[in-house]
Amino acid sequence: MRTRTFIIVGLTLAILLGGAGALYAYDSSRGDVIAEGISVAGIDIGGLSPAAARSRLEAQYLSAIEKPIVIHHDTSTWKLGPREAHIQTNVDAIIRDAQARSDTGNIFSRSYRRATGGKVTADLTPEVTFSDRAVIRTIDKVRRAVNRKPIDAKLDISLAGFKKVRSRDGLAVDASALHKKINAAIVSATGKRTFVAATKHQTPAVTTKELAQKNDTVLVVNKSTFTLKVYKRLKLSKSYKVAIGAPGHETPEGTFFVQNKQINPVWSVPNSPWAGELAGTTVAGGIGANPLKARWLGVTDGVGFHGTSDDGSIGTAASHGCMRMHVADVIDLYPRVPVGAKVFIHS
C-alpha cells in the first residue's frame, strides 16, 4: 500500500515538473517577442522581434522625422535638414523599454496572457533631441529675408520744393510662433513639416493720413519764381505773387514756422544803416510811415509776410528780407494760416 502511494506521488510530481518545464520552454520561446498592444509614437510593434520592430520604426518613424523642415513665404523657401538640425532619437532604448514591458508579471501571468492573446497597452514616446541653435539660425534667415521696417510718412523737402513720401506698413515674421512650429514638427512623425511663416504687419508711427493732419497748412515760397503757394492737407489751396529780399538783404532759405500774426502790425525798425533816422525805433501800425501794411505773419528774425503799398515791387527782389504781398492778398492769406504752420523757402 505504501509503495503504491509513493508511485502516485512520483507520477504526480513528474507530471507537474514536466508541465513546468513546458511552461518555462513556452515562456522562453516568447521572451524575444514584443507584447501585443505596445506601440511607439502610434506605430504598432506588438508581436515583433526587436530587430523587426527596429526595421518598422526605421521605415515609418525615423524616415519621417528625418525629412527636412520646409518654410515658405511668398516665393522664398528655406529648409532645415536632419543633419543641420542634429536630429537624434533613442529607438534602441525605446525597443528595450518595450521588451521590459513585455516581460512584466510572472511566468504564469505572462504565459497566460500570451496564450490567450492578451495585450500590454502602451504607446511609447521616443525622445528626440535636436539643435535649437540650428532652429534659431534658420528663423534668423527667414527674418532677414522677410522683415522690413515700417516707413513713416513725411515731407521730403529739398531745394526743388517738397514731395509727400507715403507711409508703408512694416512686416515682421512671428518668430515665436515659427519657433514653436519647427520644434513641434521636428519631433513629430505625423505632423506637418512644410508650412508658411506667419507674419505681423507693423504700423508706421506716422501714416499718410496723419501726415496730412500734422501738416494741415504748409507755405512754400519759391524765390526764383516769386511765388507763395499755400497747401492745405498737402493739396494746393492758393497761390500768390510776392517780392523777396534784394541783393545784400536776401530772404533766408530753409524750413521755418509761422511764429506770430498781427493785424495792422507795429513796425519795430531794425537798427541798421538802411533804416536811417528810424533805426531802432517803433512805428505804429496802420499809418502811412509804416511799410508793413494790413497784416503780418512773422517767420524768423524779423522776416515775415506783410502787405506793401509798393505794388510794383511784387515779383521782384526788392525788400530787406521780408516777403511783400499785395494788400488784398495778405488780407486773404491771413485767416488761411495758423500760427505754427510750416514755411519752406527755397530758390
Residues 226, 212: contact at Cβ < 8 Å? Answer: no
**Which pLDDT score, from 0 to 100, does residue 111 have?**
73
How is residue 257 written as a grid cell? 514756422
**Which pLDDT score, from 0 to 100, does residue 342 have?**
94
**Which pLDDT score, from 0 to 100, does residue 15 have?**
43
CA-wise closest residue to 267 among 243, 248, 252, 286: 286
**Which pLDDT score, from 0 to 100, does residue 270 have?**
80
How is residue 147 written as a grid cell? 522683415
CA-wise closest residue to 191 among 200, 182, 202: 182
**Which pLDDT score, from 0 to 100, does residue 160 have?**
63
**Which pLDDT score, from 0 to 100, does residue 275 have?**
74
Of the candidates 179, 249, 306, 320, the residue annotated as catalytic is 306
Instruction: Report DSSP state, residue 285.
Output: T
Question: In order along the chain (347 residues), what is the average pLDDT of each group of 10 residues?
Answer: 51 48 53 88 93 94 94 97 94 93 81 80 93 97 97 80 86 97 92 94 93 92 96 94 96 95 91 77 90 96 95 96 97 98 93
**Which pLDDT score, from 0 to 100, does residue 189 have?**
87
Name every residue whose Cβ is closer than 8 Å to that of residue 306 and which is 6 or more positions away in sequence: 265, 291, 292, 293, 294, 295, 296, 297, 322, 323, 324, 325, 330
86 carries an active-site annotation: no
**Which pLDDT score, from 0 to 100, does residue 108 have?**
74
pTM of the model: 0.64
Residues 34, 48: contact at Cβ < 8 Å? Answer: yes
Of the candidates 72, 201, 322, 326, the residue annotated as catalytic is 322
How is residue 334 written as a grid cell? 491771413
**Which pLDDT score, from 0 to 100, does residue 1 have?**
53
Structural domains of the chain, ranges and CATH numbers in brackets:
136-174+181-211 (no CATH), 216-346 (2.40.440.10)
**Which pLDDT score, from 0 to 100, does residue 328 have?**
98
The residue assigned the cell 514616446 is 125
**Which pLDDT score, from 0 to 100, does residue 73 have?**
96
322 carries an active-site annotation: yes
Three-state secondary-structure class, residue 236: strand
